[in-house]
Amino acid sequence: MALCLKQVFNKDKTFRPRKKFEPGTQRFELYKKAQASLKSGLDLKAVVQLPPGESINDWIAVHVVDFFNRINLIYGTMSEYCTERSCPIMSGGLKYEYRWQDDSKYKKPTKLSAPQYMCMLMDWIEMLINNEDIFPTRIGVPFPKQFQQVCTKILTRLFRVFVHVYIHHFDSIINMGAEAHVNTCYKHFYYFIREFSLIDHRELEPLVRMVLGWGGGG
């Protein structure tokens, strides 16, 4: 029997602590606006559009953090099924393999198991979104010039979590009754990155059939 979503996506299972927006800040108000739109049942293509008069970098920052929290939660729930033994390579089927590279421990693309890759990824994103020089939270402090470039890298790597979960753990998603939730999260993510051209279309190839199944991919 499938579990209800509250049981499936238990916050205690979050892979990493959730990043929260400070109440009273512009970013918090934008987050509330985005959440209200999501809950209103509006078309997801409309939900992701930049609200009139708002800063595009603030809008992107809010969504990057929110997607990190949501995907973090999805993978945290799946992590018991994603082990060194079941997933010795971070991949999306036989055709796609993802290697890890950063500026510290892994200076060259390195083959890792899926759990290792996920751990490195979540640590890396958490470090970036908590870095005031990249994601400034103080009023009047500008975003760095490379901000959208950094966000593209974050979102590209988060997309790989969807690829791995869909291709290697979809049966577990169905068994937990979480299919609709994960699908909605991916649609929201997909329409957002397409709206602002944040991920190279070639990176999206592994899940292109799913998008075509929505009716053309928007």
Three-state DSSP state, 68: helix
Three-state DSSP state, 201: helix
Contact 148, 60 (CB under 8 A): yes
Query: What is the spatial distance between Cα 202 and Cα 212, in angstroms, rounded to a whole number?
Result: 15
Q: Which two tokens stand for residue 181?
A: 């939730």
Residue 208 neighbours by CB under 8 Å, 6+ apart:
217
Residue 181 annotated as lining a ligand binding site: no
Amino acid making up residue 47: V
Residue 87 annotated as lining a ligand binding site: yes
Contact 115, 158 (CB under 8 A): no
Which of 108, 129, 209 lies closest to 163 in space, CA to CA? Answer: 209
Amino acid making up residue 124: W
* Phi, psi of 100, rounded to the nearest 5 degrees: -95, 140
Residue 119 annotated as lining a ligand binding site: no
Contact 51, 137 (CB under 8 A): no
Could you list the residues known to form a binding site, using ranges: 82, 87, 164, 169
Residue positions forming the annotated binding site for Zn(2+):
82, 87, 164, 169
